[in-house]
Amino acid sequence: MTKEINWKKWYDENTRKYKEEYKIMDYGSSKSMYARYQAASNILQIEKNMLVLDAGCGLGTFGNYLLNRKKTEIHIIGLDISENMIRLARQKTHYHEFVVGSITSICFKNCMFDCVTCLEVLQNFNGSVEAAISELIRILKRGGKFFLTTLDKNYIGFKSGERRRNPINRYYSPEDLVSLCESFGISIKRLGAISTDSTEFELLPLHASHVFFIYGEKVV
């Protein structure tokens, strides 16, 4: 059974510890985290002058990865529920802007962003998934890119006993999240798993890792 946690309070109180202790949140190592960033970057193919929302940006490590790797002008806005996370991210990253807020009630106007990412956020979330997905897609332009990663409740390693679920995390059926994204206007282009153990970029068949990704584009 998942333990009910006040995630805003948790992140505010654990900001500096979180910076190093990726294993607390089931991220593996910092090297494997960057391998997953590479996976996201390769799939998204973000282009010059795109406006990107990094929803649940935390310390801004993904946005910094994109900015350093692309070596081109993209505009990234970070959204996070934790004021302390945002405060530290402002000191160490080069985002265009940061906003403190929830993914269930996003302050931006409709159809504003060229790309919306939400990387390993939903597992540390107690709100309405339907409201979150609806909001993330609402602010995306028609034709815009949508990329989400979170934890797979149907991971084969859970069934074999190779890995145990973390009781503080929330797990999802990839198929259910795909249906939800489609109901709000996303055409799914790719669905699969991302290795959390490898330090190299590695995409896997669905359910072969406890982290899965959904990539799609808004069609309505």
| Residue 188 belongs to some domain of the structure | yes
Give residue-wise pLDDT tens across range 113-130.
999 999 999 999 999 999
| Residue 116 belongs to some domain of the structure | yes
Interval 90-116 mean pLDDT: 95
| Residue 27 belongs to some domain of the structure | yes
Whole-prediction pTM: 0.90
| Residue 220 belongs to some domain of the structure | no
Taking 60 as the threshold, does the pLDDT of residue 214 lie above it?
yes
Burial class of 65 by CB neighbour count within 10 A (0 to 12, 13 to 18, 19+): middle
Q: Please report which confidence band the pLDDT of residue 148 belongs to, taking 50, 70 and 90 as the band edges.
A: very high
Rounded-to-integer distance, Cα 182 and Cα 135, Å: 14
Q: What is the pLDDT of residue 25?
A: 43
Domain of 175 in residue numbering reads as: 7-203
Nearest Cα residue to 55 out of 128, 148, 142: 148
Q: Virtual CA dihedral for 149, 153, 158, 163, nearest 10 degrees?
A: 40
Give residue-wise pLDDT tens across range 153-200.
999 999 999 989 988 899 999 999 999 999 999 999 999 998 877 666
| Residue 2 belongs to some domain of the structure | no
| Tokens linked to 190 | 């790719």
| Residue 216 belongs to some domain of the structure | no
Interval 89-100 mean pLDDT: 92
Q: What is the pLDDT of residue 22?
A: 41
Amino acid at 72: T
| Residue 212 belongs to some domain of the structure | no
Other CB atoms within a 10 A radius of the CB of residue 169 amount to 20
Query: What is the overall mean pLDDT for the chain?
Result: 88
The CATH number of the domain holding residue 74 is 3.40.50.150
How many separate domains does the chain show? 1
Q: What is the pLDDT of residue 220?
A: 83
Give residue-wise pLDDT tens across range 65-79.
898 886 568 999 999
| Residue 214 belongs to some domain of the structure | no
Residue 214: CB partners within 8 Å, gap ≥ 6?
146, 147, 148, 149, 174, 177, 178, 181, 188, 190, 191
